[in-house]
Structure 1
Amino acid sequence: MNNLLIQIKFAWHNLKKKPSFVSSVIITMGLTLGALLCVLTLAYVILFKPLPYPDAERLFRVDSTVNVEQRKPLEGLYSYPGLMGLYQRQDVFSTSAVVINSNDVESSLAHTPAMKVSFAMPEFFPMMGARYAIGRGFEQTEAIDSFNPVTVISYKTWKNEFDLRQDILSQSVTFSGVTYRIIGVLAESFAEPAISYIGYESDAWLTWDYNFRRDLRDNWAALISGYILVGKLQPSISHQQAEQKLSMLLNETWQQNTTSHPHFKNSQTSVTLTSLKDIILSDSQSMIYLLLIGIVGLVVIACANVTNLFMSRTAEKKQQLAIFAALGAKKSHLFTTLFAESLLLMSLSIMLAMGIALGGFELIHRFFTAIFPRVTELSLNGFMLIAAIVIALSLAFIFARISSNMINYRALNTALQSGGKGTQVQVSKRVRQILIVSQVAIATVLILVNTSLFREAAITMTQPLGFNTENSYSLGLSYSGRPRPPAEQVQPIINELINQLAEQPEVQMATQSNPPFNAREDATFTLVGHEDPIVTSANMIGNDYFSLLEQPLLQGREFTKTDLQAKAQVVVINAELAAQISAINPNTEVLNSQIYFGKIPITIIGIVQNAQLPWHKTVQGKFNLPMREGSTGFLIKLHPKQHLSRERIGELLKKIDPKWTVWDYVNLHDLHLQYLFPQIIMASTTGALALLTLLLAAVGLYGILSYSTQMRKTEIATRLAIGAKRNAIFKLMVKDNVGAISLGIILGIIILLGLFIGFSEVLQEYLSYYLILMFAITLAMISIVALGAAYLPLRQYFSKPISTLLRGE
């Protein structure tokens, strides 16, 4: 150990004289290893780190499915009484709880912030091992039917809305007219399980009795999504036994209460249990593996580049190594000398890498919370430290071993006697060929994969929507009271607000309507003479909707105020759905024909141009129904370069009825960008990886071919002296390396085939004729890089006099 420390000090003394070499190694390895540590830690947290909940392997979510004869199964839906009966009568869980996620406006704070709220039963927090920064969680005093309006808020809410005030337990919050006394603040370290969807973090937890679905407690026919039943399985009961018992229990009560309902004749219910880990992991596993493969590929290319630098460094040190050998140093001692230098460089690189990884964690916290689960748990941890140490030691050993294998120990004394001339420290042609093959293979894989993914994301980002979002806003309202007034009492308030908005000088147009991105994806209808339902997407819109969004009407008309007031049974469909209907009924004119919702006939009064929503790869059929009375969604179009603030709308609303507040007010263009965010991230990440891969491959190939050229400079000078043309010299260098480059491309293709076989389900959507074009582009990139790397080292020989080259100068 003392000898190694001495060697490290000696290495530091020598490296200070080579700042360009040191900076090249540290920057190259620091950047790539930083990305590797970041992704490795992300993979560990998501895939392998135990969930931070007691007995996490026994925690399950219960999902219901209703199977109705001749209809698509209704998955993930519960009736309120069916859910409560299942919760109260089950005996397969040692503890269980029901949660509903929602959104509401906190009306007691001056700026009335919109918050994510969750209604939960008292058992939920102990089941998740919740800890508290202050106060307590729900207890039996907040059990069902206790009607105790209290809340537990998140640490973020305590910090952002209450400035971490210490008297927080004397404060309260108000949602929908109910004032909840704050009884606790969750610890900052509490990781809310993603049991509904990735990225959801509750701002406040409210007692179950005040949930917004309670009015459905006796309604068996109302099947609603969003109910989340979680439980801790009894140790003596298996997963399959629990599913069977719960299915029988739910189906029994379902049959007893729905047999007379016309929509649920001959229907059955069943449940499936999904482990909490599988729910949280979702479909992130494949994304993590693909990201890891990409980063590892970059690291391998970077290692090949740095290997070339170390070999050149070893060749430079041949005089020093010869002196060591003459003084009695054995080959093992020379290895220790080389290892000390590489260990020092890798230690500095890994320190930079850890800083970059921590910065990567911050970026992931900020931009990827809706893409990857458990990102709040990313931090400097034991796994990251161990991985950093193992990587640094392993790479230091590999680089030292490769460098030491270059040394012809017996020839070192000869080198000393000849003044350092000779070729006893050289990179063999075989090693150079291996480096070329590995870099080209990995570069081929990474560039093709990343350019293909980039293309898919770019297509989605650049495809036209089919309507104009500029200067258009979506507005949603919230009622701060219980119960909410009936629709006929709400509509006059809505009409008055529309009139008030229309009078504002900034406003060009306003209508009662849902935004264009708010579409139900599983709506069904039937055609005359056809029993098979057609599944499509649907939205509820108001008058002037298409005019406001500048979406062209191809035939017929759009809705009028009269249609909305009279609750007319009319519909406007898009051209894609019109084409589908025409294909089924080719002899029927689509406009003014009828479709059926159940037994209700609806007349098609208009056909509108197709719109391409960001989450669909192809145009989908869609129909639009008139906005329901009392619905509190609005679209507002402003004049160009005008701004209407949320506070201004709130003031208008307060004058009409102070119990109504602004829940949501967002620019449609910004909303579109939110939906495109995964594609934006994909394009940015894959584009950067492709460019970085190309850059690293270019640098690596240039280094290897430059070394090869230097080894043959006498031959090059001789050929030039006897009349060889520059093109002939260039072709010679290309010919010598074209085999390795071709082999690298073939190896890359084999790796790609393996990836497509191993990840066929994930990559299936990317298999198309365009992949051939992407492959051609990849080959072109690799070829240009290889030709450039072969030509650039020759320029110094072409620009010097031949006599100078022959003298070895």
Structure 2
Amino acid sequence: MVLTMGITTAGFLIVLTLGYFLLFKPLPYAEQDKLYLIDYQRWDQHKVLQSAAILHPAAEHLYQQLQQSAQDTASQQALLYFTNEVLASEPAQPRLANAYVTPELAELLSIKMAVGNWFGHDYRPGSFNTGAVISYQAWQQLFQQRHDILTLRLNVNGVSHPIIGVLDKAFVAPQLTEIGQEPQLWLPWDYNNSPFQGSWWLTDDKIFLLLKLEQSRLQKLSTELTPIVNEYYQQHIIAHDNFRNWQVVLEGRPLRDALIADNEKTLLLLVLGAAGLLLLALLLSGLAVRSINYRQLSHALQGSGKGTDVQVSPAIRKSLVVAQVSIATLLIFFSALLVQDSIAKLNRSLGFDSQHILQIEFDIATLDWQGWDHYAPQVAGLGEQLRLRPDVEQLSFAYSPLADLYQLAITDMANDRRYYPWHRNVDHHYFSVVGQRLLFGNTFTRDDLGSDKVVIIDQAFAELLTGADIAKAIGQSLKMDAATAPMTVIGVVENLQLPGKHIAPPRFYLPNYGTALWMLVKLKPDTELNRESMIELLHSLNPQFILTRFNLLDTSIAQANFPHRVRLIAAISLALFTIFLACIGLFGIMHYSVQIRSIEFSIKLAVGAQYHHIVKDSIREYLTMLILGIGLATLIALTSLVIFYDWLIPYLSWHSLLLYAVTLLIILVTLTLSNLMPLRSFRTISISNKLRGLYETS
């Protein structure tokens, strides 16, 4: 009891400490309770919330409206856009986490500087003044903490920015997009190169509008500005039937809530789990204390303390064993289910082959965009040069198969039903490069490039269209809202089972023009293409071509699976911890039970019983309690399955029966060892010593 209570109390305190850091520890910003992010909620015609992320042009419009609507809050809002940029001014072209911001951010987040200054008011949107601020870590790692740092310039997207300041070492930027992704480079808002700048229908979840004001003032602003921004939104989507009758509502969300995200639910589960274990230790301790016959104990103490091993009634002792068996069975089984689920998600087939595939992305470092027709021949030449390399087997101008970027509306022309599958643009080499299996029909050919008349769908989309007979999807006509003519389904491919997605959503593939700013390069076995060679090749084709991504697809998969690996480690740790506690509990109660019956067993041995008779007698008693405990655990498990069916069913399969059998085996082995180990003393200690307590008491 002391050991289990100590362990569970320690676990509970650890979880509470984590909860304090997440929920109650003050943020490193002054007046943190006044910091809010604006949610740009878009509700469809059925009053269903489709998105709360703010659109890029809507963010800029709302920023201007906030400045005009109330002069007393003119400096109390700031725009942030998080992305990654390449320093073209550096030979290695490092890719840095970057944030484009408006100058008011310094006041909102209490920004302090180690060297130089933050952006002044002359950097407000529309000024197009150049300048860059770097983090303290970037100053150390990239520039070796040079004292002349303010004399250097950084080339980003073809623009030369002078370094005007270095952030204080203690400053912590709000991590609103990716955990651990803290900006190393800060640039003025005017120079952000977001592909969503003019889009009123594609969402970019990396743009934020931060406010600092009283909650009462926030509610008033939301009420005042919602009609204005909603009217402005309607003006820009009037030509898009897909957004007809959509409405915009502005809501303020505390910055802390955004930083915690879904971790609050996870933390709550941890607290409940730790509290449950602690409550179970307390419950068993309470039962043990209440089961003691204090009157009999008092008489025993008055008689020199002999006979104290008969305080607990047999009924209570057996009930404790049954409770321990049932609780241990349930805890071990449900822990094993978590382990099984985590392993299954890590080992499941993704639906494509990721071995020896490089993900390469590059960009054109300029704000003076010449149009894709100007760059397409150079990009096509890049593809041809790569195909001639001895280390390259094949390449495809297509984005990573791990990313679902755009979800578009498609109508089935046969029954006029609308669907919202995920959209991908690929070339005619894509399916062979990634090894995504064709189930029916054909893949794209060179003649299909740039065509808007053919489409390939995955198995999930085909099942929506035709049911079980997915082959019937071949030849069906589908129409996108933005298209003028329908498309014909020419092929059905295997589903992609991406990390982080429980089911495979419907997807469709359209042919691109055979060039893009991203590609998948399949290398020959035992070869490699290094980053430096790729940078040189890009620079030889166009000095404005910069490498923005260069890594193996397997590396990205490992990163995407990182949460599952953490969950697996946590599940295994929980399972081992549960088994450990169960073993301690069972051993403790069995050891105590044998001690209580020590006089009984000694008398039997004294009158001629053999040691194996004692063992059989003890096992026979606890075999009944084992069956009762397992039966009770099974009943509770089945009841839980009925009550929480939707939540538990994803974790269950036919393998779960094997897990349950293994759980019972662990309990049986633990109970047997817990019973046999105390009985060994009857072999090593003389019967007279065992009986001495009886004689002295009498």
Fold shared per TM-score above 0.5: yes
SS of the aligned residue for 1:190 comes to coil
The answer on 1:528 being equivalent to 2:504 is no
The answer on 1:231 being equivalent to 2:211 is yes
Q: Are the counterparts in 1 of residues 82 and 99 from structure 2 also a CA contact under 8 Å?
A: yes
Deviation string 1:147-203 (CA, Å, 9 cap, x unpaired) is 122222223322322233343333333221222222333333333224345444222
Alignment-derived partner of residue 146 in structure 1? 127
**In the alignment, residue 542 of structure 1 is paired with which amino acid?**
D
Q: Are the counterparts in 1 of residues 196 and 204 from structure 2 also a CA contact under 8 Å?
A: no
Q: 1:276 to 1:791 in 2, by over 3 A?
A: same
Deviation at 1:44, TM superposition (A): 0.9
**In the alignment, residue 715 of structure 1 is paired with which amino acid?**
E
Q: Are the counterparts in 2 of residues 468 and 551 from structure 1 also a CA contact under 8 Å?
A: yes
SS of the aligned residue for 1:600 comes to coil
**What is the aligned length?**
683
Identify which of 366, 380, 400 aligns with 1:481: 366
Deviation string 1:272-308 (CA, Å, 9 cap, x unpaired) is 322223222222222112223444566678999999x
The answer on 1:624 being equivalent to 2:603 is no
SS of the aligned residue for 1:277 comes to helix
**TM-score, scaled relative to structure 2:** 0.84
**In the alignment, residue 334 of structure 2 is paired with which amino acid?**
V
Deviation at 1:261, TM superposition (A): 6.4
Alignment-derived partner of residue 470 in structure 1? 355
* Structure 2: tracts of 5 or more residues without a match: 694-698
Alignment-derived partner of residue 712 in structure 1? 597
Q: Are the counterparts in 2 of residues 433 and 740 from structure 1 also a CA contact under 8 Å?
A: no
Q: Are the counterparts in 1 of residues 36 and 254 from structure 2 also a CA contact under 8 Å?
A: yes
Identify which of 74, 86, 90 aligns with 1:105: 86
Alignment-derived partner of residue 195 in structure 1? 176
The answer on 1:120 being equivalent to 2:101 is yes
Counting only pairs closer than 5 Å after superposition, residues 289-688 of structure 1 correspond to structure 2 as: 289-296=268-275, 415=304, 422-423=306-307, 428=312, 440=325, 443-520=328-405, 522-564=407-449, 566-583=450-467, 589-598=472-481, 599-628=484-513, 630-688=515-573
**In the alignment, residue 180 of structure 1 is paired with which amino acid?**
H
Deviation string 1:521-566 (CA, Å, 9 cap, x unpaired) is 62321111433311112222222211122222223322233332x4
Q: 1:235 to 1:573 in 2, by over 3 A?
A: closer
SS of the aligned residue for 2:473 comes to coil
Deviation at 1:487, TM superposition (A): 1.3
**In the alignment, residue 255 of structure 2 is paired with which amino acid?**
L
SS of the aligned residue for 1:533 comes to strand
Alignment-derived partner of residue 284 in structure 1? 263
Deviation at 1:734, TM superposition (A): 5.9
The answer on 1:735 being equivalent to 2:621 is yes
Q: For the residues of structure 1 that align with 2:34 and 2:365, how far apart are their CA atoms? A: 39
Deviation at 1:120, TM superposition (A): 0.9
Deviation string 1:687-743 (CA, Å, 9 cap, x unpaired) is 121112102321332233224323433322332443367366444356369659957
Alignment-derived partner of residue 135 in structure 1? 116
Q: Are the counterparts in 2 of residues 488 and 630 from structure 1 also a CA contact under 8 Å?
A: no
SS of the aligned residue for 2:332 comes to helix
Q: 1:806 to 1:574 in 2, by over 3 A?
A: same
- The more displaced of 78-87 and 746-755 is 746-755
Q: For the residues of structure 2 that align with 1:224 and 1:135, how far apart are their CA atoms? A: 32
The answer on 1:83 being equivalent to 2:59 is yes
Alignment-derived partner of residue 49 in structure 1? 25
Q: For the residues of structure 2 that align with 1:119 and 1:293, how far apart are their CA atoms? A: 40
SS of the aligned residue for 1:237 comes to helix
Q: 1:749 to 1:173 in 2, by over 3 A?
A: farther
Q: 1:688 to 1:715 in 2, by over 3 A?
A: same
Alignment-derived partner of residue 696 in structure 2? none
Alignment-derived partner of residue 182 in structure 1? 163
Q: Are the counterparts in 1 of residues 611 and 683 from structure 2 also a CA contact under 8 Å?
A: no
Deviation string 1:480-535 (CA, Å, 9 cap, x unpaired) is 22224421222222222222222222221122111211223623211114333111
Alignment-derived partner of residue 205 in structure 1? 186
Deviation at 1:635, TM superposition (A): 0.8
**In the alignment, residue 640 of structure 1 is paired with which amino acid?**
P
Counting only pairs closer than 5 Å after superposition, residues 729-808 of structure 1 correspond to structure 2 as: 729-732=615-618, 735=621, 763=647, 766=650, 773=657, 778-797=663-682
Deviation at 1:248, TM superposition (A): 0.8
Q: For the residues of structure 1 that align with 2:507 and 2:202, how far apart are their CA atoms? A: 24
Quote the RMSD (CA, aligned, Å).
4.3
Q: Are the counterparts in 1 of residues 125 and 190 from structure 2 also a CA contact under 8 Å?
A: yes
- The more displaced of 660-669 and 718-727 is 718-727
Q: 1:480 to 1:734 in 2, by over 3 A?
A: farther
The answer on 1:250 being equivalent to 2:229 is yes
Alignment-derived partner of residue 333 in structure 1? none
Alignment-derived partner of residue 723 in structure 1? 609
SS of the aligned residue for 2:77 comes to strand
SS of the aligned residue for 1:791 comes to helix
* Structure 1: tracts of 5 or more residues without a match: 1-23, 312-397, 416-420
**In the alignment, residue 54 of structure 1 is paired with which amino acid?**
A
Q: For the residues of structure 1 that align with 2:48 and 2:308, how far apart are their CA atoms? A: 76
**In the alignment, residue 612 of structure 2 is paired with which amino acid?**
R
Alignment-derived partner of residue 346 in structure 1? none
SS of the aligned residue for 1:137 comes to coil
| Identity, % of aligned positions | 28
Q: 1:438 to 1:647 in 2, by over 3 A?
A: farther
SS of the aligned residue for 1:661 comes to strand
- The more displaced of 289-298 and 625-634 is 289-298
**TM-score, scaled relative to structure 1:** 0.74
Counting only pairs closer than 5 Å after superposition, residues 19-34 of structure 1 correspond to structure 2 as: none
Q: 1:487 to 1:786 in 2, by over 3 A?
A: same
Deviation at 1:40, TM superposition (A): 2.2
Q: 1:44 to 1:645 in 2, by over 3 A?
A: same
Q: For the residues of structure 1 that align with 2:456 and 2:7, how far apart are their CA atoms? A: 54
Q: For the residues of structure 2 that align with 1:669 and 1:675, how far apart are their CA atoms? A: 10
Q: 1:522 to 1:777 in 2, by over 3 A?
A: farther
SS of the aligned residue for 2:519 comes to strand
The answer on 1:692 being equivalent to 2:672 is no
- The more displaced of 746-755 and 569-578 is 746-755
Q: For the residues of structure 2 that align with 1:655 and 1:490, how far apart are their CA atoms? A: 14
SS of the aligned residue for 1:680 comes to helix
Q: Are the counterparts in 2 of residues 594 and 603 from structure 1 also a CA contact under 8 Å?
A: yes
